Amino acid sequence: MKLHKVKQKSEEWFGLRRKHPLTASNSTAIITTGAGLETLCWTAIAEKLSSKIVEHYSNEHTERGIELEPQAVTIYELETGNEVEEVGFITNDKISDVGGVSPDGIISKDGMVEVKCPDDVKFLKLLAEFNETGKITIEKGYYRQMQMQMMFAERKWNDYVVFNPNFSPNIIIQRVEPDEKVVEKLKIGLAVGETIIKTIEKKLK
């Protein structure tokens, strides 16, 4: 496992993503090993070989997350006493040569954190669920993302942090631990993706 201490969204970070394109944000495509994975692999090769500067997708939700994430992490640290360390990118050649993850932060030797900053209505629905049951439903894509992060970073837990500064309480924290069934499917998907990438590269030589 290797921690790459580069700034996320920097030129170095995008370079690592081009080299290790099967990332946790694409965990659903990886785990389902279908057309989505093949498209992901072709896109990765196109970005790697193209001279064009790729404009990466962004919208109001991702911009909101970028803006609010530092505040969320600070409040999380105050609530839990955990110190979050920023890390740009994580690779692990024991798992995959073409995969990697960009977590929101790592904690000591065993933990990590994933932050989401939903809009008002979505946050209130999660808060109501948490008040009623003591836990929240994590969207399947986010759950798979966190499993892949733990797998690559060799961590025992990942705190899912939901934050919205417009309310009190403004933060929900739920711990997620490794799910071996999901991890095994991710490993299979990564192996399939690596084969697809090698096949494409061979055709283009």
CA torsion through residues 195, 197, 203, 205, sign: negative
pLDDT digits (tens, 9 = 90+) for 34-54: 999 999 999 999 988 886 555
Asked if the bond preceding 169 is cis, omega within 30° of 0, the reply is: yes
pLDDT at 13: 94
Residue 56 has pLDDT above 80, yes or no: no
pLDDT value of position 132: 97
- Backbone φ and ψ for 85, nearest 5 degrees, come out as -105, 130
Q: Please give the domain boundaries of the chain with CATH numbers for all domains.
A: 2-203 (3.90.320.10)
Q: What is the mean pLDDT of the chain?
A: 93
The pTM for the full model equals 0.92
Give the pLDDT mean for 89-112.
96
pLDDT at 49: 87
